[in-house]
Amino acid sequence: NKQVILKEYVSGFPDESYMSLNTTILPLKLPEGSSGVLLKNLYLSCDPYMINRMRKLNTPSYVESFEPGTPINGYGVAKILDSRSPNFKEGDLVWGRTGWEEYSIIKATESLFKIHDTDVPLSYYTGLLGMPGMTAYVGFHELCSPKQGEHVFISAASGAVGQLVGQFAKLLGCHVVGSAGSKEKVDLLKNKFGFDEAFNYKEEPDLDAALKRYLPEGIDIYFENVGGKMLDAVLLNMRVHGRIAVCGMISQYNLEKPEGVHNLMHLISKRVRMQGFIVSDHYHLYTKFLELILPHIKQGNIVYVEDVVEGLESAPAALVGLYSGRNVGKQVVVVSRE
Ligand code: NDP
């Protein structure tokens, strides 16, 4: 059983040397007396929050640090090889929390969702139809109360979450602008995902001026993925009664000390609602989300771009690549295609 191990806690900016590949023996049946399920992992998801689990956390968090010397874990798509759970049987396909390894024994099966619809690519359950898709849905539809014609701005817009937020907003008839870190990503936003405007934030010396240029009437909804200077610039451009879904702040995750935010006072005069959220608090809405999104995918109204690498040995580099924007679209690792 090939595994990706966390060698030691990450300090500073991460690179793949903090992880190593290891091989152990795992029985292809659940051992006597064992509970849960035995999984064959097919696709693994690289997600930005994982870096926080690779550090020794000094403050309480909604997730715990990984244990050095053990396989890291995250979201993935897998096939059940053996089950002692009444909810799953051999051959079922699932998505949810699993190990970064070829095979995993999962005792807490409440974090696994059965996959019923296989007319779509299975890897989509690491992204569009899994945790990041739910994040886009909850953050935009449930928290931001969007209305037709509103002005929506999304940062890290071409990523796993952002590309879907933008398409949801377009389907609702909003004016949608996104920022991303390369020309290729900006082209995707405008030509593939149907954003009205997009810009490369790395080429904009003055983010406030850029936002005024692309969103001259201001921002009703900001879907926050990056934090830092972008948030400060957005605060200067919010409209009265605007909403900000604070989904993530990836620009801050690898800093020793987070940057200060200076323009929060604008929340008052503009009566802006700014709300953080954790997607796993909202998984009871998963069926509602699927009912909304599956028809759109099948009718071609929603498309999805993935950045797929092959093999567990490619996983460490793919994961750390998120923090320099190397991924174009949802970062997926193929462990096995069947
Ligand atoms: P992405 O697929 O968007 O990948 C991360 C992207 O972030 C990179 O490709 C890069 O894009 C951008 N980025 C990396 N470093 C920086 C930086 N220093 N400054 C600005 N941008 C940077 O990731 P996801 O779509 O999976 O996640 C997006 C956000 O959503 C993250 O902040 C994540 O933590 C958060 N999240 C929150 C959840 C919740 O429950 N609250 C659940 C899931 C995700 P570019 O080239 O455009 O810079």
Instruction: Express each pLDDT in 132-169 by its tens digit.
Output: 999 999 999 999 999 999 999 999 999 999 999 999 99
Residue nearest to atom 10 of ligand 1 (CA): 325
Choice among 24-38, 233-247, 257-271, 312-326 with the minimum mean pLDDT: 24-38
Interface predicted TM-score (ipTM): 0.99
Whether residue 10 is contained in a domain is answered as yes
Q: Is the model's pLDDT at 32 over the cut of 90? A: no
Handedness of CA 201, 202, 203, 208 (dihedral sign): positive
Ligand 1 centroid – CA 248 distance (Å): 7
Q: Where residue 318 sits, what CATH number does that domain have?
A: 3.90.180.10
> Which pLDDT value is given to residue 127?
98
Whether residue 63 is contained in a domain is answered as yes
Q: Is residue 53 in contact with ligand 1, taking CB distance under 6 Å?
A: no
For ligand 1, what atom is nearest to the CA of residue 248? 32
Whether residue 212 is contained in a domain is answered as yes
- C-beta atoms surrounding 244 within 10 Å: 24
Ligand 1 centroid – CA 83 distance (Å): 35
Instruction: Express each pLDDT in 209-266 by its tens digit.
Output: 999 999 999 999 999 999 999 999 999 999 999 999 999 999 999 998 999 999 999 9
> Which pLDDT value is given to residue 129?
98
Whether residue 286 is contained in a domain is answered as no
Give me the number of domains the chain comprises: 2
Pocket of ligand 1, candidates 226, 277, 305: which has the most ligand atoms within 8 Å of its Cβ, to mutate?
Answer: 226
> Which pLDDT value is given to residue 316?
98
199 residue type, one letter: F
Q: Is the model's pLDDT at 124 over the cut of 90? A: yes
Residues 269, 310, single domain; the answer is no
- Supply the range of the domain harboring residue 74: 2-127+304-334
Q: Which residues pair with 175 in a beta bridge?
A: 151
- Total-model pTM: 0.97
Ligand 1 centroid – CA 30 distance (Å): 37
Residues 118, 141, single domain; the answer is no
Residues 14, 115, single domain; the answer is yes
Residues 82, 212, single domain; the answer is no
CA distance 41 to 143: 33
What residue has token string 């605007």? 242
What's the number of CA atoms in the CB half-sphere (13 Å) around residue 155? Answer: 26
Residues 138, 273, single domain; the answer is yes
Q: Where residue 175 sits, what CATH number does that domain have?
A: 3.40.50.720
Q: Which of 35, 6, 29, 38 is nearest to 19 (CA)?
A: 6
Residue nearest to atom 11 of ligand 1 (CA): 325
Ligand 1 centroid – CA 38 distance (Å): 31
CA distance 72 to 213: 43
Q: Is the model's pLDDT at 315 over the cut of 80? A: yes
Residues 156, 95, single domain; the answer is no
Q: How confident is the model at residue 1 (pLDDT cuts 50, 70, 90)?
A: very high
Q: Which two tokens stand for residue 122?
A: 């299975």
Ligand 1 centroid – CA 157 distance (Å): 8
